[in-house]
Structure 1
Amino acid sequence: MFVLSILKHTVKIEPTALGRDFTEALVERLNRQFANYVIPNVGLCITFYDFKKYGASYILPGDASTHTPVLFRYVVFQPMINEILEGNILRSNQEGITISMQFFSDITVAPDKLPAVSKFDESVQVWRWEYQNENGDITPFYMDPGKRVRFKVLSVKYQNVEPGAPPEATKAMTIEASMFDMGLGCVAWWEPQCASELKQEANDPSEDE
């Protein structure tokens, strides 16, 4: 899920920061520039890790700022295909479920990738899994917003975001996921100690875990 990516960049430090610890100033500048930034085919940058190499600082004519080439490692969110991750349901509609991992929320599960058989309840705008036992009895388990879910990464897509692009085209990184397989979906479904709560929940879709 998280990897250390080696990146290189020339860091500009303004004169107002030259009285500070130079390394701290470099790290702050790198985090300001890279944190929450998506590098295509690499992933979502999270935070600075360490330096591998410094270059000699230089000053350009007419510019009092220093410019320092650096080679550094950065913590990157780089989900792998078929990797199992966890998050919380952010919202639902007829097109599926959106999941958030707090630092990243462009994770979608299409209707055909939800547990079989799942149906969308228009009255509460929530998907429910209609679990059928050996006797053919059906128990609905609701996938309410906020619930903890386990999902499998199916694909990771990147796109270049152009200035002024419409909202649907401003997602630099998206994950298509599945909750279809055994053990996926709401985490509470697979915890024996929650069995009694799940039975009660089946009769009240608005009840929290």
Structure 2
Amino acid sequence: MTTETATQILHATHSALCKHGYAELTMQDIADETDLCKASIHYHYDGKHDLLVAYLDHLYEQFEDRIAEPAGETPAERLRGLVVALVTDRSDAPAFQTALLEIKAQSPYDDAFRSRLQRFDHAFTAAVREVVAEGVADGTFHEEVDPDAVASFLTTYVNGAQTRHAAVGHPLDDSAAAVDAYIDEALRADQAASTGGGPSSETANVGGTE
């Protein structure tokens, strides 16, 4: 299979998945998004599951690029950039997040899906940890802030925000704004100086040690 054909099929998978969702998606739906016939796609992929595994691998490559250099000049800005890259920076967010949520729902029973979703989780956690550690080192964030704790919290929060948006329509912009407030109130050292204290009691266990 040529790179061009593989790319065409994977892009078609994305379009069809956003239109039909995981449960209703068929190989014919994917073929309809290309100039290929269903038999041609079956020649390269055994079935929907095999193709969706390849699609997740394709998404991961794009994901790595999106989080590799988050926008911003300071650690606080880059931390916001990481969150925006996952939460609000998608024109197809509602349909895509709904389809992805359906795939995530299968992962407890599907090792192939689970292992690939874990790669996303680990990569985002590592990216957040790196930016927070940089911020602690240069004084942007409180010296008592724990990069591991913040990375774990924000990874969990972002996943929850995506799920809440897909399930009940909670605005993604509101979730991103809450992260902005968290960064300012719980992490930034200059905010503590202006308010006369460190992280609030509500965020101290996440932003730093007790």
Report the TM-score, using the length of structure 1 for normalisation: 0.28
Which structure has the larger Rg? Answer: 1
**Bigger fraction of residues in strand:** 1
